Structure 1
Amino acid sequence: MSESSEPTATATAARAFGAHLEDDDGLDGEFGTATEYSDQLDYYSLLGLAQKPPPTDAEIRSAYRNLTLMFHPDKQPSHLRESAELHFKRIQTAYDTLIDPKKRVVYDLLGAEGVAREWGHGGAMGAGGDAERQQVGVKAMTPEEFRRWFTKTMKKRERKAVQELVESRGSITLGLNADSTIRVDEDDDVTVQIPEKVVPMSYAAKYSFQTPLSLPTFWQKVKEEEVQDQQKETPDADIVDEETEDLVHVTFNAGIAGNIVHRRQHAKAQFEDGTEEDMEIPLPPVMVASNISLGATLTPNVRELIGTKGIWNNRLFSTLRDSTVLVETNVLPVPLLRTTVARAFQPIPGIKPFQVTTKTTFMRSLLESPPSFEVHVTKEVAPRKLAFCAWSSGLWYYPDFLLDNFFFRGMTLEDMYASAGDLSSLQIGLISLPKQPLNAISMDEDDAESEEAELRRHLLKKQVTDRAAESWQTFVQVSPGGGGLGLTYSRNLFSGTPANDPVKSEWSDEGYAPMAKMEEARAVRVEVSTTVSPDLSFVWNIKGTRRVGEFTKMGIGIGLADHGILMTIGWSRLGQGLNLPIVICSKDEATHDAAILASIFTWASYLAIEFGYVRPRDRKRRREAAARRHNQLKKLVPKKRAESEQAIQLMTDQVRRRQMREYEQDGLVIDRAEYGYWPPTDRKPRPGFEEPRTTDVFFPVANLVDRGQLVISAKTVKHQIIGFHDPAPLLKKRLKIWYTFQNRSHFVDIADKEGVILPQRSHVCPESEQFNPLATN
């Protein structure tokens, strides 16, 4: 056993990671391993079992029986009894967890802490937990049924927690006027300066929150009857209670918008010398509300509401049952009722369905005008390409013969003037969606062939490339009031976490996938949009959005608009937003050259801040965190080494007897085994890491030999195998095994996260490195 502890390693590693920590060996540049290094015991590794394929109950009992015979405290000498008790308790806990199918499911998902939490008070399986509220007992479920039930329970718990964070949404917008920032003279020379003054000129505030709506118990009784009928029809079906969805959700919304008027009062000042002077005294600004909105949106769960029995099973209601329905009502500024129905239609079997959305809006009495209609049709025409067509009727008028011969009274001139902007329109366009991210491919022992490994590398490389998430949209719009051509393009710039990533669920039907604690650099989502009018005039805008926190995003945009050159700054966090549109150049002086210059200046300023300050600061923080983690683990090495040495003493006699039996049967005999860090041979090691840091693991590896075979899974945490310890925390380690099988010497060298099955013919050892069986024991 050899441990390298060069005195120069401390300072070298600290300087390499930008940290100045006492007695720190560093991480050899592998910052990501700091987050993957777990302090929890791996029960599979402890018992010497592979997690995939799952071990059988017989294999678990066999491993437990062998280890308990080896580490039973009553069979050990007094000086090793305390160590034996420690290992025996760990083995007992691992066995109790893995032999219980339901605890094993939770352990595979959440680890030992998850088992203790979910079987404790308030957990899913504890007192007052979700298991007690099940119609079908959890104890009667098979492991597969229990896994589905547990993941659904965790998803429901997670969704509830997220909804509590974003149960309300609000935004505040404050428009500012700083048009003296950019000046354009008669010769089109552009001058950028600090604005003389910044004046608020407009404001807007919106707020909404969602709540479920309780309905009479009649609907619940109908639902219960349908569930009972379903159980009678399929008594042997696999019925697992799912989350009961609310029948109706109501979203209340309110808003106010208007202008900020700055007033001045004329006054005449008289001085002591008798002179007078006219003055203008600024008065407090007045907020004038030009639009006040108040309303609600109802989202009914049509399938749950109407059910499937009786008249609800006819063609009309069955169509509604498979549709998404929204009902929107407004009280202010004018009474409004809007219904939206969305459904997918497949007129010809085998083709991509059409997604059809219809809207009907009632804004006035039916005696005055018919309701307006909107139809939106979308169809997938190619992978990730959607074509759409949208038509809006706008304001309709009753024809004269209806007004003359029936009771319709028509609209007044005041109503027509107020609705002059409600015109019909037709929009046709094409949308390109970003590529979906590829899932990482797990590599088992049988995936080591070159072709499959090359395919995996190609896919992982493609996954990084696809993170650009390019998307675009183009459309043509025509209406009686004009028309135009619009184009929007967006993509992620720089590698890192995308800015527009939603809050990802850590739970899925496949299991649990926790987020990494050490975040990588964040990307910038850039969006360019432009609209060209029939007279070939156009407006454009460039916007960049970046995540600045776990749930916080910040965006900056600049472009040429009707108000002039407009800069927008916005923050958003968990449904709450703050927007600041700033006019930095008046529309009388605004030119495309000035807007482009402002965009370049803004982009250059961002790049200087991002790459000159933000990313170096984040890298330094990650390095310091990784170095601190390494320092903590390194201090535990002597303790872990002592525990492993005591475990080896406890298993020595039994391992020798088992190896002797293998030798007599001409089976698998372990000659030598070492585990730890070896300096790289393909490049020069960093200063302080020239010497290996390894430990002798002959007895722990020989203890894993069972019936002439040694199996170490790729999922096995090697430094948690009984008798192992980690001599080089967070460094890249390897396991080297020399063994004899049928009088031939073999050698295998595997990485820390690779698995191996011995014996193998490909592991022939050179003659110069052959060992005499049992000679090193």
Structure 2
Amino acid sequence: MALTLAWIQDPLGRGIRLRLDRPTELQSGANGAPAEFLRSHLTLALEWVLSTGISRRKLDNQPRNNNLKKNPEASSMSEADQSSAAHAAARAFGFHAEGEDGLDGDSGIATEYPDQLDYYSLLGLSQKPAPTETEIRSAYRNLTLMFHPDKQPPHLRESAEQHFKRIQTAYDTLMDPKKRVVYDMFGEEGVQREWGRGGAMGRGGDAEKQQVGVKAMSPQEFRHWFTRTMKRRERKALQDLVNSHGSITLGLNAETTIRVDEDDDMTIHIPERVVPVSYAAKVSFDSPLSLPSFRSNVKADTIADEQKTDPDSEQDDEVSESPIQVTFQAGIAGNIVHRTQEAKAEFADGTEEDIKIPLPPVVVANNVNLGVNLKPNMTELIGTKGIWKNRYWSTLRESTVLVEANVLPLPLLRTTVARAFQPIPGIKPFQVTTKTTLMRSLLESPPSLEVHVTKEIAERKLAFCAWSSGTWYYPDFLLDNFFFRGMTVADMYAFSGDLSSLQVGLISLPKQPTQTISMDDDDADVEEESAARRPKNRVDSSAESWQTFIQVSPGGGGLSLMYSRNLFSGTPADDLAKSEWTEEGYSPVMNIEGPRAVRVELSTTVSPDLSFTWNIKGTRRVGEYTRMGLGIGLTHQGILMTVGWTRLGQSLNLPLVLCSKDEATHDAAILAGIFTWASYLAIEFGYIRPRDRKLRREEVARRHNQLKKLIPKKRAESEQAIQMMTDQVRRRQLKEHDQDGLVIDRAEYGYWPPTDRKPRRGLEEARVADVLYPVANLVERGQLVIRSSTVKHQIIGFHDPAPLLKKQLKIWYTFQGRSHYVEVGDKDGVLLPQRGHMCPESEQFNSLYL
């Protein structure tokens, strides 16, 4: 049995070759084991010792005196082979690397791992700033010369056809401005869907219904049209999910749950029965009201007028579904009366007993509501020409108008007009809202009036003032001299509760994520890179807000305070009401994984007699569209607990009275709140979150196993791609070397164990892929540019050797005869050459091309 150990320094920077010749005959070892067994184990052991015992730092500093012209065929054991040999040797000697077959990835990376092919990364281009047609053609021409199937040997022809097909598809998509718009929004699947049957650009899609041909549109016009089309599709999808809005409230009475005696001692009992005592139900649905004959002329006049005013502006030729949005609403509320009937029962022994027999409950309707809301689009209805162009009438055209009409319980007509005013140029505008309510004949009393004025006084701080007139009465001189007849005594008594009021307050809004658009592509890219590196803990996940106001009324008043924020930072508890479509394009709502936050709302009111009521409520998302809330507080009904569910505009509320108002105290309410909060924490942290963590780990483990099975296939594809690009890349690098330009000497991509801390078990070894030729192929005119948005493992010749692990790209290069070195993270960009990458004199190495 012959052992051959050779050191070969090849152009890729590796140099270990081990060969153990197979014996011609099987012989027994000293312990009776077959020689084949000893040979295999000795081979694995030596490979493991050599692959792990040589310091990578020494390999990094090895001089590179090879000349590609002299030894172009030099090769050695790959990094993946060394790693597999090391693991095989460890298993042969009884050592098991923990985590080898288990989960060694990161759940955060798993949620961001790309599932689709990135065309920009495939062609070696950047998405921001957008590549020009010349850059796309140049990248396409360069890659097709490398991977054309007719120019490859037979054993590489099948792989070349696959690469060539991908390159062709990427080129066709990015060269078509309209397809590129859709691809930037939705990716590869989006292009296939929108150009397929039923898509916006496919057969039977929106493009065929468009009066003005979509093919004649510029890229900007097409983006505008496509964005509006997607917004209409989104609205339709939302309407299909929520055809109506409704709520059901069922009041329950369990006064015997908490009892407070004369000494303020509190006892908790299990209630014998929970009795429904009240109910309320409301439903509303939207119905568009179209006026096609009137609206079309107004729309044409409006567009023509705006084009005359600003001929260069982009007009929104979207036709809204209706100029008037109609909302029908109905509701009913009342009490549930429980009746009993007294009876006398006679037993067999002749005794009699008075008993009460429960009768079916009676539902009493105290309030029945039926009405309709009209929200007209004033611009579409009245246009911008004629008298509406006058500055006085334009106030109505630029306002938001809402008309509400009720039939039950009393006839009512309410008109709301909202508009922003800026009396002094340069200051923040005032938002003024006026409401007029007509509940009686104008001969009896004038309509009531409400005025709300809101102004932003600081960032996310709003001051507001609201005044309501209540029920007005005509003065005596009008009643005596004009045709007004005034209100009767019965009317005055019926509407005595409608009093005037004044509110003054301050509102603090939560922080909202903002998107700034830079006119400079380079600045936009820098902002994108800095945002990607921004720590996650700087994101405002608390969404803290508060509101306080003082109310004064002839019937009383008080000071109210409301405060809310998210606890246990995680997925927000609020509904995902934000549209994914804006004027700038598509902004998908991220699917945030992790523990869900709890939205806590605290409200309290202090009356003039210093008595106060309070309520605290917590809301948590329990599903994609479902929220659940639990609250407790001290109200005028006593100690009240509320349980609620909300899903897609439908809600169910269950207020439960735990203690009567005669026995309720603040101490009892606080203890009830503490007990409720402790119970929730026990459920949340004892069951829900451990279960969610387990499910997330299992999902990441499944994802990791799927990606891990693809490593051999992806590695083989990358090796074949490297073989096809080697000759052309060598010629380009030799040209760079002759011009004293940028020469890539070595490049590696993958996972390296951390040096500042002890790595996790099973992650002590590096998992690296050699990417010398793929990186050198990206050198263009003496520069190497890889944007942060580029998915590095999807660059041709790359593959992911360590899925779901934090990877780096290390590059050794020579520029103007000096050695340079740089390493960047997987999400960072690369720009070479740079003076800061230059190695000290003691670490200079010879270039591959010397």
Tell me if both proteins adopt one fold, taking TM over 0.5 as the criterion. yes
- 1:715 paired residue among 779, 789, 803: 789
Aligned ranges 1:359-378 → 2 under 5 Å: 359-378=435-454
Distance across 2 between alignment mates of 1:487 and 1:702: 64
Aligned to 2:294: 218
Aligned to 2:21: none
Instruction: For structure 1, list consecutive stretches of 5 or more residues without a partner in the other structure.
Output: 15-22
- 1:587 paired residue among 661, 664, 676: 661
Q: Does 1:26 align with 2:104?
A: yes
Aligned to 2:765: 691
State the shift of 1:104 in Å: 1.6
Distance across 1 between alignment mates of 2:683 and 2:203: 53
Distance across 2 between alignment mates of 1:102 and 1:456: 28
What amino acid does structure 1 have at the position aligned with 2:640? L
Distance across 2 between alignment mates of 1:109 and 1:89: 22
Q: Does 1:521 align with 2:595?
A: yes
State the shift of 1:228 in Å: 4.2
Q: Does 1:203 align with 2:286?
A: no
Q: Does 1:666 align with 2:747?
A: no
- 1:150 paired residue among 226, 230, 254: 226
SS at match of 2:191: helix
Alignment check: 8 A CA contact 1:444 1:714 kept: no
Distance across 2 between alignment mates of 1:169 and 1:115: 35
Aligned to 2:675: 601
What amino acid does structure 2 have at the position aligned with 1:593? D
- 1:281 paired residue among 350, 357, 375: 357
Distance across 1 between alignment mates of 2:425 and 2:775: 60
Q: 1:429-459: per-residue Cα shift (whole Å, max 9, x none)? A: 222222333559999999999xx99997997
Q: 1:350-387: per-residue Cα shift (whole Å, max 9, x none)? A: 33322222111111222222222222222223332222
Alignment check: 8 A CA contact 1:173 1:580 kept: yes
Distance across 1 between alignment mates of 2:370 and 2:826: 62
What amino acid does structure 1 have at the position aligned with 2:297? K
CA distance 1:136–1:441, shift in 2 (3 Å): closer
SS at match of 1:468: coil
Distance across 1 between alignment mates of 2:565 and 2:374: 34
Distance across 1 between alignment mates of 2:187 and 2:205: 19
Q: Does 1:634 align with 2:634?
A: no
Q: Which has the larger radius of gyration?
A: 2
Distance across 1 between alignment mates of 2:367 and 2:688: 41
CA distance 1:156–1:267, shift in 2 (3 Å): same
Distance across 1 between alignment mates of 2:176 and 2:563: 54
Q: Does 1:57 align with 2:140?
A: no
State the shift of 1:659 in Å: 2.4
State the shift of 1:255 in Å: 0.4
Q: 1:259-297: per-residue Cα shift (whole Å, max 9, x none)? A: 000000111111222222111001111111111111111
TM-score (norm 2): 0.85
Aligned to 1:19: none
State the shift of 1:232 in Å: 6.7
Aligned to 1:657: 731
Q: Does 1:40 align with 2:116?
A: yes
State the shift of 1:245 in Å: 5.3
Aligned to 1:468: 542
State the shift of 1:216 in Å: 6.0
- 2:466 paired residue among 383, 390, 400: 390
State the shift of 1:491 in Å: 1.7
Aligned to 1:17: none
Distance across 2 between alignment mates of 1:456 and 1:767: 36
Aligned to 2:23: none
- 1:2 paired residue among 79, 103, 107: 79
Alignment check: 8 A CA contact 1:445 1:755 kept: no
Q: 1:656-713: per-residue Cα shift (whole Å, max 9, x none)? A: 2222333333332222221111111111111111111111122222222233332222
State the shift of 1:177 in Å: 0.3
State the shift of 1:184 in Å: 0.5
What amino acid does structure 2 have at the position aligned with 1:583? V
Alignment check: 8 A CA contact 1:565 1:584 kept: yes
* Greater alpha carbon shift after TM alignment, 345-354 vs 244-253: 345-354
SS at match of 1:467: coil
State the shift of 1:113 in Å: 1.0
Aligned ranges 1:77-226 → 2 under 5 Å: 77-215=153-291, 217-226=293-302
What amino acid does structure 2 have at the position aligned with 1:709? Q
SS at match of 1:150: helix
Q: 1:182-224: per-residue Cα shift (whole Å, max 9, x none)? A: 1111111111222221110000000001111123613322322
Distance across 1 between alignment mates of 2:104 and 2:699: 11
Distance across 1 between alignment mates of 2:637 and 2:606: 16
What amino acid does structure 1 have at the position aligned with 2:358? P
State the shift of 1:349 in Å: 2.6
Q: Does 1:752 align with 2:752?
A: no
What amino acid does structure 1 have at the position aligned with 2:612? F
Distance across 1 between alignment mates of 2:98 and 2:136: 46
What amino acid does structure 2 have at the position aligned with 1:104? R
What amino acid does structure 1 have at the position aligned with 2:113? Y
Alignment check: 8 A CA contact 2:470 2:501 kept: yes
CA distance 1:476–1:665, shift in 2 (3 Å): closer
Aligned to 1:251: 327
What amino acid does structure 2 have at the position aligned with 1:385? K
* Greater alpha carbon shift after TM alignment, 321-330 vs 137-146: 137-146
Distance across 2 between alignment mates of 1:441 and 1:597: 51
Identity of aligned residues (%): 75
* Greater alpha carbon shift after TM alignment, 199-208 vs 364-373: 364-373
Aligned to 1:346: 422
Larger relative CO (CA 8 A, sep 6+): 1 or 2? 1
State the shift of 1:514 in Å: 2.5
SS at match of 1:694: strand
Distance across 2 between alignment mates of 1:649 and 1:432: 62
Instruction: For structure 2, list consecutive stretches of 5 or more residues without a partner in the other structure.
Output: 1-77
Distance across 1 between alignment mates of 2:256 and 2:786: 71
Q: Does 1:410 align with 2:493?
A: no
- 1:532 paired residue among 606, 625, 633: 606
Distance across 2 between alignment mates of 1:10 and 1:35: 29
State the shift of 1:234 in Å: 6.4
CA distance 1:407–1:241, shift in 2 (3 Å): closer
SS at match of 2:773: helix
Distance across 1 between alignment mates of 2:817 and 2:279: 87
CA distance 1:755–1:203, shift in 2 (3 Å): same
What amino acid does structure 1 have at the position aligned with 2:402? L
State the shift of 1:227 in Å: 2.9
Aligned to 1:483: 557
CA distance 1:720–1:768, shift in 2 (3 Å): farther
Q: Does 1:419 align with 2:495?
A: yes
SS at match of 1:642: helix
SS at match of 2:79: coil
Q: 1:117-158: per-residue Cα shift (whole Å, max 9, x none)? A: 111122222223223334443323332332233223222322
Distance across 2 between alignment mates of 1:700 and 1:305: 61
Distance across 1 between alignment mates of 2:269 and 2:112: 50
Distance across 2 between alignment mates of 1:275 and 1:25: 77
Distance across 2 between alignment mates of 1:447 and 1:244: 33
SS at match of 2:200: coil
CA distance 1:77–1:351, shift in 2 (3 Å): closer
* Greater alpha carbon shift after TM alignment, 197-206 vs 267-276: 267-276
State the shift of 1:628 in Å: 0.8
Distance across 2 between alignment mates of 1:72 and 1:635: 28
**RMSD, matched Cα:** 2.8
SS at match of 1:253: strand
Alignment check: 8 A CA contact 2:298 2:380 kept: no
* Greater alpha carbon shift after TM alignment, 159-168 vs 621-630: 159-168
Alignment check: 8 A CA contact 2:104 2:762 kept: no
Aligned to 1:572: 646
